[in-house]
Structure 1
Amino acid sequence: MGAERIVALTDSYLAANQVTREFEVKDKRMEKYVKAVQQITILLNSFSIKQNPRGSNGRADALSRLASTCFCHLSKEVLVEVVKERSIDECQVESLSTTRPNWMTPIIDYLQHDILPGDHEEARKIRIQAPQYAILGGALYTKGNTSSWLKCIDNELGKKAFQEAHAGSDGARVGARALISKILCMGIY
């Protein structure tokens, strides 16, 4: 996302000291995480990890209590995402190339090259919309209401995303708002 300096806070004294190599890493899975952190920190101007006492980390405590709570007694639907793959496991990612013009093309042209469409009204719309977008790592992102940035995709990939979100175990029963919420949780716009 273009960050240059990161200060990471963790409530685990062991994890913080394993990342800084003050403690020896004995677990093979933890070794993969430490290597992944080190690969990322090479790209940064500065990185530090600090142990934050458990008592002063109210958000993490609330999240851990929520994760250990049983929701069987609730009558409303509670959306919980189960992550099946570890973040350290390698996965193949399909590269996206947008060669055909789509809805993002005028915005990208304006942000990268300061090129506006010939139509005065369209040019005005692009200038108004542009501050909501940013190009990060060669891809177009927009500011999200519930998350920091959402990756913009074209109609073809959007259809695939809807099919993927609809294919879940409850996909056929969810309403339009829940489906849109599921798509936004995937981090795409």
Structure 2
Amino acid sequence: MRYVVRLHFPSCNNVAKYETLINGIRIAIELGIRCLDVRGDSQLVVDQVMKEPNCHDVKMTAYYREVHRMEDKFDGLELNHIPRRLNEAADVLAKATFGREPVPAGVFVSDQHKPSVCYKESGQGGNGPSNPSPRADQSSATSSSKVMELKGDPTIEPDPLVDWRTLYLDYLLHDTLPTDRTEAPRLTRHAKSFVLVEGKLYKQSHTGIL
């Protein structure tokens, strides 16, 4: 299933990448997907979502927090970076959208007129369309589809002075959990994808590779 989201508001490249991710996650949730493997060519977005966020930009903070907010709807959510040269299918759709060229047949289109998140910097934002709507000339069978759920890496927001890995090491080695009632179950869930090998922390992908 291929989707295109056309943004009708000023946005930089990173915002466009996050909007793509958020819309894709929402579609997955509506499709009822419980385990999601997201592959994208933005190293920045992947690192911010899957590792310890180290971002001082108001917009980017709002975006990765929105992704973290939705991850609880999944049994498994993982983001993996791939080189742009291996992301040709998405690149073709992006070029068609940016160039305002006709969208290829069989592709669902959504026009979004405001950001998916709110951030104080611009005073604008809100919830964009939760999922792209099929065009009139396409089958409406998938319009009732529901979106997948993802599973992630460290999405807990740790103390900036503490390495995010410390939380996982404490749990795996000493069964120690954060005192926060929200973060504790989240850490427990995410820790299932981590393993200790000779005292070092590794993340295990869905293929079993460390």
Q: TM-score, normalised by structure 2?
A: 0.38
Q: TM-score, normalised on structure 1?
A: 0.42
Which of the two has greater helix per residue?
1
Point out the structure with max Rg over C-alpha.
Answer: 1
Higher relative contact order structure (alpha carbons within 8 Å, sequence separation ≥ 6): 2
